[in-house]
Amino acid sequence: MVEAKPKAKAPAGECILSVGTIDVIGEKARRWSVENGKTSALMDWKKCREAIADMLADCDCDIYAIQEADQPIRDDLPRLLKKRGLKLGYFWAIPNPEATNQDQQLANGILYRKDRFKVGKKRTFFLSETPEQFSRGWGEKRWYRIAAACEVLDKKSGQKFFLMTTLLSNRAVNNENSGNLLIEREKLYNNNKFVSILAGNLDSRPNAPLAAILKSHYEDSYSMYPGKKLRGNYLGWALDARRLRSNNHRRSYIYVRQGTSSQCEVLSYKLHNKKYDIDGYETYPTPSLPVIAELKIK
C-alpha cells in the first residue's frame, strides 16, 4: 500500500484538493455476479455496503467521481456517508430517472464537500451518436452510458475548474468513439478556460487506442506524478491483488488538462489499497480500487 501523505496547505488563490474516482459496481451487477458464480457472496451490495461507505470515508477525498451507482446504491450512500460524518453534495447523471429497469438507472455522479465547493452549469449527455437524446451508442446492446459534467467553484480560493465523470464500455469501437465525444464535449462546455479533470472507469488499458485519443487533449495524472505508485487498480471479480503490480490492469483514470486561466500540478497519486471486514472476512469491497490524485490549481 502506498502510504498517504498529509494534505498540503494552499496559500491564498491556490486550490489544493484531492479527487478520487471509484467504480462502486451496481447492486444488480453485483447480485448477478454472485448468483452466477463469478465472485464471492461477500460482494452482494447488502453485505458490503457498510465496507464501501467505510472505504469512501477513509479515502477522505474532497471530490469523488462515482460510477455504476444504480438506485439501491443511490438510496443507501447518502445515509451511510452522513453517518460517517461526510457532509456531501450529490450530482447524479441518471439515464432515465423514471425507469423501473435498473439497466436504465445506472448512474455516474460527482460527490463533493458542500461546505467548500459550489457546483454549477451541470450537464449530462449520452455516450452515443445522439448525445442529447436518451440513447445507446455505437452498437451498445444493453447499457445507456451517460456522463456528468459541471463547473466547480472552490469557495476557499475562488478557483474554478471543470469536471467530468463517466463509465466507458470495454468494446473498442464504443470506447474509442466515446473518447472522441468526451473531448468534443469538454471543448464545448469548458472551451479551454479552466483546468479540466476527467475521472472515471474508462475500462481500457493504458496502451489501448483510447489512451492515445485522450492524450491528444489531456495528460494522465499517473504519468504527471513522478513518485512511487502501484501500477494497476483493477482486481477483477476474483479480487486478485497480483494485478496491482501490472500496468495492464489499470482501468480507472484521472486525466487533467491545463486551462488558459489556471494551471494544475499533480502533488500525489495513490491507490486506496485496503481490505475491509465483510461478514468476518478481510477482503476488498469492490473489484475496482479507488484512485486518488491530489491536485494544486492556481
Q: Let me know the angle formed at the C-alpha of 176 by 173 and 182, rounded to the nearest 5 degrees.
A: 135
Residue 275, in any domain of the structure: yes
Residue 291 is predicted with a pLDDT of 98
Domain interval for residue 63:
15-297
CA distance 125 to 200: 15
Residue 4, in any domain of the structure: no
* % of the chain beyond a pLDDT of 90: 87
Q: Over the chain, what is the mean pLDDT? A: 94
- 252-270 tens-digit pLDDT: 999 999 999 999 999 999 9
Check pLDDT > 90 for residue 55: yes
Residue 79, in any domain of the structure: yes
Residue 7 is predicted with a pLDDT of 60
- 101-159 tens-digit pLDDT: 877 889 999 999 999 999 999 999 999 999 999 999 998 988 899 999 999 999 999 99
Residue 3, in any domain of the structure: no
The predicted model scores a pTM of 0.94
* % of the chain beyond a pLDDT of 70: 96
Check pLDDT > 90 for residue 1: no
Residue 10, in any domain of the structure: no
Average of pLDDT values for 175-188?
97
Check pLDDT > 90 for residue 184: yes
Residue 297 is predicted with a pLDDT of 97
* CATH classification at residue 286: 3.60.10.10
Number of domains the chain contains: 1
Residue 5, in any domain of the structure: no
Q: Which residue has the cell 464535449?
A: 185
- Where does the pLDDT of residue 17 fall: very low under 50, low under 70, confident under 90, or very high at 90 and above? very high
Residue 1, in any domain of the structure: no
Residue 230 is predicted with a pLDDT of 85
Check pLDDT > 90 for residue 8: no
